Amino acid sequence: MSTSRNHQGAHGIGQVEEQLKQQANATDTIQGGSETDREIAKAANRDAHTSLDKIIDSKERGV
């Protein structure tokens, strides 16, 4: 049961991250972004597959 709960929690976190990314993109579109904002977004999206994702993936495969 704990594994399922952890998976649901991780999925919820992913949904929140996606919502925040969409809000940031909307703000950038409306207000225009700064060069610093673009560099931060570029760095943040460089490795979208996080360590947590790798752990979850390995648990789902039973590794």
Give the pLDDT of the chain (63 residues) as one tens digit per residue: 456 666 666 678 888 889 998 998 898 888 887 888 888 878 877 766 677 777 888 878 876
Asked if residue 5 belongs to a domain, the reply is no
Per the structure, the count of domains in the chain is 1
Asked if residue 6 belongs to a domain, the reply is no
Residue 19's pLDDT is 92
Asked if residue 47 belongs to a domain, the reply is yes
Asked if residue 50 belongs to a domain, the reply is yes
Asked if residue 48 belongs to a domain, the reply is yes
pTM above 0.75, yes or no: no
Residue 48's pLDDT is 63
Asked if residue 45 belongs to a domain, the reply is yes
Asked if residue 3 belongs to a domain, the reply is no
Token reading at 10: 């991780």
For residue 53, give its domain range. 11-60
Residue 2's pLDDT is 57
- Residue 37 CB: number of other CB atoms within 10 A? 14
